[in-house]
Amino acid sequence: MPPPITRRDILRTMGSGFGLLSMAGTAAHGGSSLDPKPTHFPARAKHVIYLFLNGGPSQVDTFDPKPMLTRYHGKAAPSGNLKTERKTGNLLKSPFEFKRGGQSGLEISEIFPGLVRHSDDLCVIRSMYTALPNHEPSLFMLNCGHILPGHPSMGSWLTYGLGTLNRNLPGFVVLCPGLPVIGPQLWTSSYLPGVYQGVHIRNQETDPEKLIPNLRNTGLSDADQRAQLDLVAQLNRRQLDRTGPDPQLEAGIASMEIAYRMQTEAMDAFDIRREPQAVRDRYGDSDFQRGCLMARRLVERGVRMVQVYYGNGQPWDNHDDIMIHRKLGNEVDKSITALLDDLKATGLFNETIVIIGGEFGRTPSVEVSGLVNVQNGRDHNNHGFSVAVAGGGFKGGLAYGATDDFGFKAVENRVHPHDLHATVLHQLGLDHTRLTYRYSGRDFRLTDVEGNVVKPLLS
């Protein structure tokens, strides 16, 4: 891989300028870039892979075993049910067994057999909570740090804060075959410059040409396109000679060269067909499973953050029948395990934060509302849920925080999404209180005016 061309390279090769370029202001609000930027303090991790199980996975069926729930199955919760979106009834035990794995003996549901094997790599936060039991505000909170639309996503913030390690690829990639609920608002750069927007790849395709708009020129040979670009470069340089130095024009010249190389590099990075069949088999061939493999390839090539949505809409939203969690769980377990295995094999595990979780959890009580056909499922639950994190300096084999006896509400060492965001940024070398952007006269942050780094999660 050739090193990325920097603005300085371009200027050096052109030998132009008054020596004042560093002072030259651009018009209006330009001047943003994907160049790597210094961190606030030494970083522990460089990348994030956010595996988003959209719909709301149930904590008591995945990462938060509750013996009391089993004991009181079919009975009313002694302290009553918390208010959630819909009417719920008596307690409903998990149909799944929990298994202990690794040295730590961390308990994880049998629907994740591979993760049980990875117990010592997982940092399970069992005390997450958000404000509202509805998908939209909770999706916004987990992704953008606010319950309302119109704020930049975490991926945009950290690309803004860190730049990317490979300018021939986008810094923040979002994989979803169609759209999760709410859609592009979840990876928007909003008031941050558009360069930090998540690039949404509809990964039901495997051919990179179909994945990325304008990636391939169908009409020109490579030689013809190179000749054409040489002409563009020649015209641009002549213009620059005429106008005198202008960082905007110079950035444009650099972008054009990067675009040219991106045609080749992205074709490679996004093409999972280049993986050996044995590797593809380990991950599996569903959209999410291929997404995990693509995420690995992208991170290996320097992409800062990859977010893989489980699927369109909200597949984990099992109001009716919690048994569906088994099928979903087995599917994601296969590829997450393969991903963790590969990251560990290459050493990338230490510098990649893998987050596994949804927008909220589910009630330990059974849903009895008129919107379900069968009463074997669970309603949304914002009061308590689990998120698992692996790699990037998070402490493995740890269960942090706790919900109450039945798994309804986070009661011990509560962790808000702001805290999770602050901690993730911290591992990336960013102080969440200093990662600000001035917009409309105010400094905005991913964590608003809240958030604490949760030190006990870190090794």
Of 202-241, binders to other proteins (CB under 8 A) are 213-220, 224-225, 227-229, 231-232, 234-236, 238-240
Q: Does 1 bind other proteins (CB under 8 A)?
A: no
Contact window for other proteins (CB under 8 A) among 109-117, 258-266, 287-295, 391-399: 258-266
Distances in Å between the Cα of 192 and the Cα atoms of 160, 293, 439 are 8, 29, 8
Comparison of 1 and 235: residue with beta carbon closer to other proteins: 235
Least distance to other proteins, CB of residue 189, Å: 8
Least distance to other proteins, CB of residue 66, Å: 19
Comparison of 282 and 445: residue with beta carbon closer to other proteins: 445
Please, which of residues 48-67 interact with other proteins by CB under 8 A?
none
Q: Does 190 bind other proteins (CB under 8 A)?
A: yes
Least distance to other proteins, CB of residue 119, Å: 28
Distance in angstroms (rounded) separating the CA atoms of residues 225 and 231: 10
Please, which of residues 169-188 interact with other proteins by CB under 8 A?
170, 179, 181-185, 188
Q: Does 411 bind other proteins (CB under 8 A)?
A: no
Give yes or no for a contact between 5 and 230, defined as CB atoms under 8 angstroms apart: no
CA angle, 90 then 107 then 418, to 5°: 80
Backbone dihedral angles phi then psi of residue 415, each to the nearest 5 degrees: -125, 115
Please, which of residues 265-294 interact with other proteins by CB under 8 A?
none
Q: What are the beta bridge partners of residue 365?
A: 91
Q: What is the DSSP letter of 95?
A: S
Least distance to other proteins, CB of residue 453, Å: 9
Comparison of 222 and 285: residue with beta carbon closer to other proteins: 222
Comparison of 200 and 282: residue with beta carbon closer to other proteins: 200
Give yes or no for a contact between 117 and 149, defined as CB atoms under 8 angstroms apart: no
Give yes or no for a contact between 69 and 407, defined as CB atoms under 8 angstroms apart: yes
Q: Does 5 bind other proteins (CB under 8 A)?
A: no
Least distance to other proteins, CB of residue 413, Å: 12
Distance in angstroms (rounded) separating the CA atoms of residues 340 and 307: 15
Distance in angstroms (rounded) separating the CA atoms of residues 7 and 168: 14
- Binding track, positions 111-140, relative to other proteins; x by CB under 8 A: ------------------------xxx---
Count residues binding other proteins (CB under 8 A). Answer: 95
Q: Does 76 bind other proteins (CB under 8 A)?
A: no
Q: What is the DSSP letter of 457?
A: G
Distance in angstroms (rounded) separating the CA atoms of residues 379 and 385: 12
Least distance to other proteins, CB of residue 207, Å: 15
Q: Pick the binder of other proteins from 251, 279, 411, 458 (CB under 8 A).
A: 251
Please, which of residues 370-399 interact with other proteins by CB under 8 A?
370-376
Comparison of 158 and 366: residue with beta carbon closer to other proteins: 366
Beta strands in 118-181 (DSSP E): 122-128, 172-175
Q: Does 23 bind other proteins (CB under 8 A)?
A: yes
Give yes or no for a contact between 142 and 417, defined as CB atoms under 8 angstroms apart: yes
Q: What are the beta bridge partners of residue 442?
A: 439
Distance in angstroms (rounded) separating the CA atoms of residues 122 and 203: 27
The number of CA neighbours under 13 Å toward the Cβ of 126 is 26
